[in-house]
A and B are shown apart, each in its own frame.
Chain A
Amino acid sequence: MTRTEHVALKGTREGLVLYFDPAADFGLLMNELDKLLKNSVQLLQGASVRCYAGNKEYTEDQHIMLATVLEQHQLELAGWLTKEEVYVPGQAKSYATEDRETRLADEGMVEGRCLFVERTLRSGKSVQFEGHVVVLGDVNPGAEIIATGNIVVLGSLRGVAHAGATGERKASVSAYHLAPTQLRIADLVTRAPDEETGGRGPEIARIKDDQLIVEAAGMSGWRGKAR
């Protein structure tokens, strides 16, 4: 999650949500929002955002101001969420969803919207998506993928990849040949070592103990057994 004192931006299963502190002054909120959006390199341009500010109601002028600030950062105000629709951090969720989420997490499973890119991404191409991205091809140097979820490349990843772009630290980046110019997961950034070590096989990058680490993928599968 990206946040300032009174404003927070979070990627949810249904898209981006902005949380405002209902008690804070509107001018202050706008200032912080502007700063927050400016600082977020992971900004998903062109995305629509929904807002939540508890029971607080804003005037029409304030609505217009908010929409303008969002527009300046190429975001679209898609509407407001009510208390029932939004997941407020710390608030207990309904039993059904919680139960299901833990079950999936237990088994190492993640679900969500997914984009399949059925081609190679060449230099200059940028793919931004709210969800997971799977590339059936290569990602060449100079190309970038920004996803709020995981990134999987069934080929060589040599460009820039940013998984968990809205702050999801559980996100991962995996590739058949993982050699990105730069790799980002949530708020952590790392770059490829200066010397290329070729032919390591499929690898997966994820955050462990606040560190971005890369390890061999699928070692327990048929590939691992063959070794």
Chain B
Amino acid sequence: MGEIIVVTSGKGGVGKTTTSANIGTGLAAAGHKVVLVDTDIGLRNLDVVMGLENRIVYDLVDVTSGNCRLKQALIKDKRFTNLFLLPAAQTKDKSSVSPEQMETLAKELKEEFDFAIIDCPAGIEQGFRNAIAGADRAVVVCTPEVSAVRDADRIIGLLEAAELRNPKLIINRIRPEMVKRGDMMDISDILDILAIELIGVVPEDESIVISTNRGEPAVLDQGSKAGEAYRRITRRIKGEEVALMNLDVPSGLMDKLKKLVGLR
């Protein structure tokens, strides 16, 4: 029996789709049978980020409305044979799927896959309710901005109201040097308000932009810092205990000397 994990945030642009793609790919790379489900009907992105746009024939709405079988709509990934994508419809809107249909779909996916990663649309309306309908677990993505934290807080409240207890937090796009200067919220500021379990901190990384444009998830890029963060998140989702990534800014020569002689 598989597990349905919804990736959500409330605010747009914080990295839900990137996170979904990387967690899904990471789990598949570890040998699990994984499906990525894009529920952002009308504004689909996950197919582009995965580099699978040109293979779409059927979509989520076709499956839920019975136009095709689930198997027909699933797109096999380029890199992993155990990774699949169920794309969103682009020409319809969020009201073309109901939470009940999503629950039925979730049950079907659970029998087939080890993990189903649901990429949730921004907002708290129908699209959000659809995305969380069949989920067993939730991952909340948040950037170190007051507005994103506010929205994440609201989302956590709504998740709890929907009986999705203990959502996990990923802090995305943090810039250690800005935090050090005091110009950006740090991790403890965010945890102070949200008060949920942190499962990963992803640094701002140019390689994400490159990998998104290329349709190659960063989690596979061994040289990428963000990729390393996602690899650790993937292991944590599987239940392993992994330390948070060290995000310290490389210190100057004087600092190193001081450390050497035990001054700090």
Interface, chain A (partner B; CB < 8 A):
120, 122-125, 138, 140-142, 156, 158
Contact = CB atoms under 8 A, between A and B. Distances in A.
B202 interface: no
10 contacts: A122-B154, A122-B156, A123-B154, A138-B195, A140-B153, A140-B193, A141-B150, A141-B153, A142-B150, A142-B154
Nearest to A124: B154
B193 A141 contact: yes
B195 A123 contact: no
A140 B156 CA distance: 12
Closest CB pairs A-B (n = 4): A122-B157, A123-B154, A123-B153, A124-B154
Contacts of B193: 138, 140-141, 158
Contacts, number: 27
A124 B150 CA distance: 9
Contacts of A142: 150, 153-154
B150 A125 contact: no
Interface residues of B, number: 11
Contacts of B192: 156
A189 B48 CA distance: 50
B138 to A, nearest CB: 14
Given A122-B160, A138-B195, A142-B154, 19 more contacts: A120-B195, A122-B153, A122-B154, A122-B156, A122-B157, A123-B151, A123-B153, A123-B157, A124-B154, A124-B158, A125-B157, A138-B193, A140-B153, A141-B150, A141-B153, A141-B193, A142-B150, A142-B153, A156-B192
Contact of B157 (A124, A141, A156, A158): A124
A156 B194 CA distance: 12
Interface in B82-127: none
Give the most central of A120, A122, A140, A142: most B CB within 10 Å.
A122
A141 B158 CA distance: 15
A120 to B, nearest CB: 7
B122 to A, nearest CB: 15
Contacts of A140: 153, 193
B131 to A, nearest CB: 18
A203 B151 CA distance: 28
B8 to A, nearest CB: 14
A21 to B, nearest CB: 44
Contacts of A141: 150, 153, 193
A47 to B, nearest CB: 23
A156 to B, nearest CB: 8
A16 B121 CA distance: 43
Contacts of A120: 195
Nearest to B160: A122
Nearest to B193: A140
A79 B201 CA distance: 58
The residue among B153, B154, B156, B158 with the most chain A CB atoms within 10 A of its own CB is B153
Contacts of A138: 193, 195
Contacts of A156: 192
B133 to A, nearest CB: 20
A141 B156 CA distance: 13
A124 B156 CA distance: 11
Interface in B130-148: none
A125 B154 CA distance: 8
Nearest to B152: A123
Contacts of B154: 122-124, 142
Contacts of B151: 123
A122 B156 CA distance: 8
Nearest to B124: A124
Most-contacted residue by chain B among A124, A138, A141, A158 (CB, 10 A): A124
A140 to B, nearest CB: 5
A142 B151 CA distance: 9
A122 B167 CA distance: 14
Contacts of B160: 122
B156 to A, nearest CB: 6
Interface string B69-87: 0000000000000000000
A122 B160 CA distance: 10
A209 B27 CA distance: 64
A123 B154 CA distance: 5
A167 to B, nearest CB: 30
Contacts of A123: 150-151, 153-154, 157
A138 B160 CA distance: 16
A98 to B, nearest CB: 44
A14 to B, nearest CB: 32
Nearest to B192: A156
